[in-house]
Structure 1
Amino acid sequence: MLISLNDVYYVLGAFLAMIAALTFQDRANPKRLLTGTFWGLYAISFLFGDVISPVYMGGIAISMAVIAGFGGVRMGKYDESTQKEREEHSRKLGNWLFMPALLIPVITVIGTIGLKDFTFAGLQLLDKANITLVSLGVACVIALLTAMGLTKEKGLQPIKESRRLIDAIGWATVLPQMLATLGALFAAAGVGQVVSHLVSDAIPVDNRFMVVLAYAVGMALFTMIMGNAFAAFPVMTAGVGLPLIVKLHGGDPAVLAAIGMFSGYCGTLMTPMAANFNIVPAALLDLPDKYDVIKVQIPTALILLTVNVFLMYFLVY
């Protein structure tokens, strides 16, 4: 295998390590030591996560939470181009500015569908077990190199710009990973079984539509509570999806997983717990009401959730 998921993690870890190093040198940041430590610990989780003991990894996660909880992640000073320079670059490049962003989904799809069985010198090119994630990682690297070629930026400037963005997002950057891990812990602790008993007592489980409704709406509601569909998925799927839809009624697990996750994303649109999706953009756009993004998204989310319920009902069985 030439490119594995660990290789993607190593690239991310090195990227975050450089951001941490730049942060330690930023004397304009009043909490540069804590901010740099936060990103440094995050880098360690990617670089050495496969060899560090779970106990120590848990200590790293707790340390990051403590730093973030006490306001240790702050913005500093960045070598940004002026507004005039940005406008000049924008006029010069025109619509080519969108190419790096568009390359990411295109290359990811190409890698996932077209290169899953591709071999080079007898070796699998991409990690087949994690083909989508590896393709996404490769796509991001290619997009970065393309952006550097278009803008003629060299050296550490892309890292400096990335540091500005990741500092603006702050601790919410790590939320998807933390919440996904929390979902796995809930599933291992048997929360799914508790949910299954509650649902079985509340609805007629012999009714196919009611079971689908409970699963889809439950995914959305649990996502609203947890802030991430990845956290809700193992709990709701273990508690409702697999035992009631797949085993009891013979549903298709592939359809269940796809539409179930989509139902969870409907919940993401409606909760402040998904801070990295809903609260951070409001802060970056300086909106007067930090919940404006959620308020605008609620009608779309409810319509999508309704469509998902009927899609799953007609497709999963």
Structure 2
Amino acid sequence: MLEYVYQATGLLLLAFSLQTFLDKNNSKRIGTGLFWLIYGVTFLFGALIPNWVTGILVLMLTALAAGGFMGTGSYGTTTDEERKATASVLKNKLFIPAIVVPVGTVLISQFTSLGALVGLGISSIASIIVALAITKSRASNALQEGRRLIDSIGWAAILSQFLAALGYLFSQAGVGDTVAEIVKLMIPDNMLLVKVIAYCAGMTLFTIVMGNAFAAFAVITTGIGIPLLIVENGGNAAIIGVLGMLSGYCGTLLTPMAANFNVVPAALLELKNKHHVILMQVIPGLSILIFNIGVMYTFAF
């Protein structure tokens, strides 16, 4: 079932690609169309093509994004006035499609054997159907709006996959072990508070660099959390793990690498300063980090 979800995603990306190639108002339609075409192929045929071919496709995506070959075009979307008029009629009904996705995902993952990812795919399709029924729009409108949104996001739409792969590579390369050795050399055994600070701050810093708290968790918890806090000092694994991940989320608030949280909203809201979201989150992020350090040191040992 999960493979079907990937294939459906690939078909959607291929549709975006075809629309882009035909969009004469997009001065960069060739580069943008190729980007979504290649990305769609990785979803549609990822289970069939060799890994080295996928690697070449990823390099092609990188070249298109880094070379500035992507742009936005014309989408035949409604005006702001038309949207306001429709919103005044539909009111809170507009939130129903958005609610269908998380509720459907949870229900499918909890009460079936399909899993959360398959549930997300099915719920997303259901959400589109509900949205079309509520707004009385055509399926082509949903396709055009989807292309408009993904073009607004641009290459950042695939950043989470890149960063997850980077975290796996770091773990396989033994970066966690190297971090552990460095921390042991710098911090004496009897300085527990400093170790806690190193772990929480390390989670934040690695997340800032990698843009993904899950990827950072595999590296920093393997290198600092487990050997130095849990094994050597007998720390509570549950408390350390939860607060460690929360410290990673503090890094998520502070980095453009977490594009889906910080760059994408700025693009969709058309903010003049693309880093405005991050600037507003600096003080809350650092405050939560300090709180995590205090709670972990007080209750985990």
Structure 1 length-normalised TM: 0.86
From 299, 303, 306, give the equivalent of 2:287. Answer: 303
TM superposition shift of 1:226: 1.9
Distance 1:11 1:28 in 2: 27
TM superposition shift of 1:228: 2.4
CA-to-partner distance for each residue in 1:34-60, whole Å, 9 max, x for gaps? 111101111122122222222111111
Q: Is 2:49 aligned against 1:52?
A: yes
TM superposition shift of 1:145: 1.8
TM superposition shift of 1:83: 2.4
Distance 2:295 2:107 in 1: 27
The aligned residue for residue 30 of structure 1 is 27
Q: Is 2:83 aligned against 1:83?
A: no
Q: Is 2:146 aligned against 1:149?
A: no
> Does the Cα contact within 8 Å between 2:149 and 2:268 map onto a contact in 1?
no
The aligned residue for residue 41 of structure 1 is 38
Matching residue's letter, 2:95: F
**Unmatched 5+ stretches in structure 1:** 119-123
**Unmatched 5+ stretches in structure 2:** none
Distance 1:87 1:268, change over 3 A: same
The aligned residue for residue 195 of structure 1 is 179
From 169, 174, 190, give the equivalent of 1:185. Answer: 169
Distance 1:313 1:146 in 2: 48
From 209, 217, 240, give the equivalent of 1:233. Answer: 217
Distance 1:155 1:135, change over 3 A: closer
Distance 1:315 1:149 in 2: 51
Q: How many residues were matched structurally?
A: 301
Distance 1:137 1:252 in 2: 36
Q: Give the alignment's Cα RMSD to 1 decimal.
A: 2.2
Distance 1:158 1:138 in 2: 16
Partner of 1:156, secondary structure, is: helix
1:1-317 superposed matches below 5 A? 4-112=1-109, 114-115=110-111, 118=112, 124=113, 126=114, 131-205=115-189, 208-251=192-235, 253=237, 255-313=239-297
Matching residue's letter, 1:157: N
Percent identity reads: 44
- Answer with 56-65 or 21-30: which moved more: 21-30
TM superposition shift of 1:153: 1.6
TM superposition shift of 1:28: 1.2
Distance 1:47 1:247, change over 3 A: farther
Distance 1:52 1:266, change over 3 A: same
Distance 1:220 1:109 in 2: 29
TM superposition shift of 1:251: 4.7
Distance 1:39 1:215 in 2: 39
Structure 2 length-normalised TM: 0.90
Distance 1:108 1:226 in 2: 27
Distance 2:246 2:53 in 1: 34
Distance 1:48 1:297, change over 3 A: same
Distance 2:280 2:157 in 1: 23
Partner of 2:121, secondary structure, is: helix
Distance 1:251 1:25, change over 3 A: farther
TM superposition shift of 1:13: 1.5
Distance 1:35 1:219, change over 3 A: same
Distance 1:316 1:14, change over 3 A: farther
Distance 2:230 2:138 in 1: 53
Distance 2:52 2:9 in 1: 22
> Does the Cα contact within 8 Å between 2:76 and 2:144 map onto a contact in 1?
yes
The aligned residue for residue 121 of structure 1 is none
> Does the Cα contact within 8 Å between 2:132 and 2:139 map onto a contact in 1?
no
> Does the Cα contact within 8 Å between 2:7 and 2:43 map onto a contact in 1?
yes
Distance 1:146 1:262, change over 3 A: farther
Structure 1 segments of 4+ aligned residues over 6 angstroms from their partners: none
Distance 2:160 2:22 in 1: 28
Partner of 1:78, secondary structure, is: coil
Matching residue's letter, 1:81: T
- Answer with 26-35 or 223-232: which moved more: 223-232
CA-to-partner distance for each residue in 1:166-203, whole Å, 9 max, x for gaps? 00010111111101111111111111111111112222
> Does the Cα contact within 8 Å between 1:227 and 1:273 map onto a contact in 2?
yes
